[in-house]
Chains A and B, each alone.
Chain A
Amino acid sequence: MINSDANRINRRSFLRSTALASGAVGVATLTGGSLQVALGASSINKNIFVYIFMRGGPDWLSFITPMNGHPSRGDYEALRSNGTQVPNNRLLALADGWGVNDFGASLQGLFQDGDLAIVHAAGLPFSNRSHFEAERFVELGTPGNRFTTTGWMARHIQTAINLPGSVPVLGMAAESSITLSLLGEVSALSLGNPAAFELEGGNDIREDELQIALEQIYAQGESDIEVSGSQALEAVEIVQQVLDPPYTPANGALYPDSDLGDELLIIARLIKGNTGVRVAQADRGGWDTHNGQGVLSAGGFGGRVQDIGDSIAAFLSDLDVPTGEGDNWKDRVVLMCMGEFGRRAFDNNDAGTDHGYAGNILVAGGDAVNGGQFYGSFPGLADSDLFQGADVMMTTDYRTVFSEMLIRHLANPELGSVLPGFTDYNPLGYINGADITPNFDPADTISRIGFEA
């Protein structure tokens, strides 16, 4: 009987070895000795970046909020009179008079442990209140350029010279589709529901034989549909080998029963499964709260705050185990959460908030993150402090945050390619890592990565 997935993988391996190979195909094997990572070259960077995109634009003032005694608390209360105010007794103290919405107790814990840093008032270099455009400007890494064809994380992969030349999953999105940040990186894996990440039908459709035939055929062609198909079929093998065995998160880590929890769990397993993940993205939507925001509701904004906090806490806890190379997975990771913009400083008549400008960026991790403190400056909430009298003003260009992570964590100095047009490398200090001289030169950028500088 061939019923378990492990057996099916073995069966396919057997079938492959006996197939009348009209074109032999290289197939992933993660078994036995091949799992031993041959990392000789010291130039290889092993650090990992995990990007959580909070699609929709979170109301950061309901997430990280001035508490009583903070100079902006009075303005905050005046601006939030239509049902979106977080009362002082529902805030958990962080530092500098700021508190986190009490649904974010996990985040307070991370902050106190030094595993969470928070950047104030980050945003695009100029305001854009369209989801569509602001997402592109952030994730493509080219604010103002509407037609960039590659994402900033894709360009990192494409320009970093310290990445291993061949690993199964260098970049991934824990989504069924590829994200904008990874757009244009052909090797990036997109993986939403692992249970659906295979063909179906079993012996009724000779599934194993069909899959092998497709592997062989797709491996021969060089059109983009054939390259995509070939990689998809190879990814099926890898994902099954890593994700099929039963798994218990380390250290009793409890992932929330949510999309984000599921996604971070998959990312953690692929990281710990030595598939070579260096950059990964997960999305957490639901932040576009124009009405009935529910800042104190488990079914609304509050629940999403909790989901973010509990998911990150579980992820870091699960990774808090040795890599087998003398360090700890958690210490290789920097995890960053941000949306395309913050929301309007004042609420609307529907107990909601409209699109705004700047917002926080959350950064979590082990040794790589100088946590337990805020970075950047908060511009204030007085009428004259607000952008157009309406939104939290931007004080830190989001590319300042990206560039520090790129240089100090991923050790990729190619800022001119990853963040073209950004020439102001001015680290905030939230990453624990060494500086290297940035290369702001976008020379040859067009031919390499496909945008007009």
Chain B
Amino acid sequence: MNGISRRNFMAGSASAAGMASLAATRTQAQVATEFPESLFPGRNVNRGDTGALPPFAVRVLNKAAFGPARGDVEAFDNLPGGSDFGRLQNWVEQQLNPTAADPEVDARVAQAGSEYATIFASDVVLWTQFVRSDEGSVRSRPFSELDRITYLRGAYSQWQFREVISDFWNNHFHVYSRSDNETRGFMPSYQRALRGDAAGSRLFGNFFELLFNSTRNAAMLYFLDNYRNSWPNPNENYAREVLELHTLGALENYYGAVDPSTVPDNAFGERSGYTEIDVFQFARALTGWGVADGDDGAPDTGAFLFRPNRHYDEHGEEPIQVLDVTINTDQGENDVIQILQYLAEHFGTARFIAGKLCRRLVSDNPPESLVQSTAMEFYNRRGDPDQLREVYRHILLSPEFQNTWAEKSFRPLESMLRTWRAAAIEFIPTVNRPGTTNRNNIASGINDRLEDAGQRPWNIEFPTGYPDFKAFWRATGTLVSSWRLVTYLLSRRDDNSGNMADGFALNLAQQTNDLLPDPNDRTPVQIGNTLALTALGFTPDAGTMVIIIQFIAEQAGVFINQPLDNGAGIDTSNLGNSNYQRIIRAAMALIILLPVGQRR
């Protein structure tokens, strides 16, 4: 296979080649049919998976935000800079410097009263009142609130890139929230450990700080079994995952069960990867790390606790050697800190994280040139307090970021948030309806459906976090469940008494009429164009628009330029759960679920 076709293949999905081979290897004589109809015909997959190229602002907002909310495209286009690139620079500059204030989010949090109390509760309160509670519902409350504020922030935050990148690091340093009671009740603390402060400064700081703080939080220590790691039989789990998932990466830098002295140096004079011996040595260093959990006379606060009597060096063992780090003498918990510092600054880590960031923001198969230049930025700035901000800037301003489109599609969580923003849904997702003890069933409904779709936050039991390649998310099960969530959201409605169920407000008919005040303008053509423009931020290609407009016309029983009020039983002044409302909801779902609405 020559280089070009190999690259084309790698750029696409394996499935394309799979179907081609299926066709190529079977002869008619060998094909028997169990069913009369061909359900999965071997259609050739056209790699031009782009459709029409949307405007620059839409591309940026679909890739570095959870899609455009109302007004976002216009706001982007009104930025100074005089060109797409100039406006992008201004947008990136804003987004890379978020503040603690986030009015759209803050107002809704305030409106929710105490519904997000655990998000802001101190570590010791989370531990003593929630983790240690006898009641399951109390122990689960903090992670339930965390799910919900994650949706709130994703839907409404003006600091969209912060929320996108927060999701990235949440997955990189993943903790399965339902792993233990100590994770369930402590998740808000873990989220703070990664975000740093209300502005999310740690997400834009130095990678070491993120890594270091992840290692010392009780949620991580329990999830990866490091909460009572002790000599002489250390638990290897956490050491392995720090090397494999959080720093160097297994695919890239794991050498297996070989003599570490046989591992070559990289271009920077560092031992280029880790071996089983390094895993074991690191696990040794991690002995003694744990949590103040009331054990051994310790207080029961959930704080990080180093127990010297469980640490290897209390027992007169040999020095620790992890890659190029040699620790000869007892330095207590500093043993691990030295190793973490080394790993955070290793080029292998730079390369691994750069690859993941480029995969998130640009493409499943990001250009090697971009990964390498991003890795160099990460490596060269390893001592800088704003290392990560510079790395993000490097990617976001790269030609590769600007010029790629449709290399990715929205995963279920992203699809849900982009729908929320596209339809301008007004909803505060909380455990209970604010001010009552009634469960907020729509928020639970979102959670359940996101779980079915396979991307509820913090809900994958493996420490890898959620996969980030599109073939995975295009499996039938995830795709259908993800679409189901979109139709669920768009079909929530009031109870016909004027009260919006669970405070969920979405009146698409009203929205349409606000944009088309004259009933004579409410034709399939105008409604289709208006809905598409408001939902997607641009008008799709003519072929797609024909589909949308015809759908509306068929549902309303009118011609495409005829007002809907001429259709049988259609009254566009009826803004309840009317035929009109239903047609508009269906049209909005169609726009979002069409291929053009799925790409990023």
List A residues at the B interface (Cβ < 8 Å): 19-20, 22, 26-30, 34, 37-41, 43-44, 55, 82, 126-133, 146-147, 149-150, 154, 157-159, 161-168, 170, 173, 175-178, 183-193, 196-207, 209-210, 213-214, 217-218, 221-229, 231-236, 238, 274, 276, 285-286, 288, 290-291, 346-350, 352, 354-355, 388, 446-450
Contacts and interface: CB of A to CB of B under 8 A. Distances in A.
B582 A177 contact: no
Nearest to A346: B233
Nearest to B50: A223
Contact of A196 (B225, B409, B452, B551): B452
Given A183-B14, A196-B481, A221 B33 contact: no
Interface string B452-492: 11100000011010010001111111111101100110110
B153 to A, nearest CB: 25
A127 B279 CA distance: 14
Interface string B91-115: 0000000000000000000000000
Given A44-B32, A199-B487, A224 B13 contact: yes
Contacts of A132: 244-245, 250-251, 464
A379 B9 CA distance: 43
Contacts, number: 340
Contact of B481 (A150, A183, A193, A231): A193
Contacts of A213: 547, 551, 590
A218 B544 CA distance: 11
B598 interface: yes
26 contacts: A22-B550, A43-B30, A127-B256, A129-B256, A150-B14, A154-B18, A161-B27, A164-B32, A166-B31, A166-B34, A168-B40, A176-B478, A177-B478, A186-B45, A187-B40, A190-B475, A192-B454, A196-B449, A205-B585, A205-B586, A210-B590, A228-B475, A234-B40, A238-B39, A354-B236, A446-B6
Interface of B: 1, 5-6, 9-10, 12-22, 24-27, 29-41, 43-51, 225, 228-237, 240, 244-245, 250-251, 254, 256-257, 276, 279, 409, 449, 452-454, 461-462, 464, 467, 471-481, 483-484, 487-488, 490-491, 493, 547, 550-551, 554-555, 577, 582-583, 585-586, 589-590, 593-595, 598-599
A5 B254 CA distance: 51
A449 to B, nearest CB: 6
Contacts of A232: 476, 479-480, 483
A129 B279 contact: yes
A223 B49 contact: yes
B247 to A, nearest CB: 14
A191 B21 contact: no
Contact of B582 (A20, A187, A205, A349): A205
A210 B487 contact: yes
A205 B555 CA distance: 11
Given A201-B585, A348-B235, A450-B14, A166 B474 contact: no
A290 B585 contact: no
A405 B101 CA distance: 61
A23 B434 CA distance: 48
> Interface SS of chain A: helix, strand, loop or mixed?
loop
Contacts of B234: 348-349
Contacts of A170: 40
Nearest to B44: A222
A167 B40 CA distance: 8
Q: Which of B39, B235, B490, B593 has the most CB of A within 10 A?
A: B39
Contacts of B20: 448
Nearest to B256: A128
Given A165-B31, A222-B45, A231-B40, A349 B454 contact: no
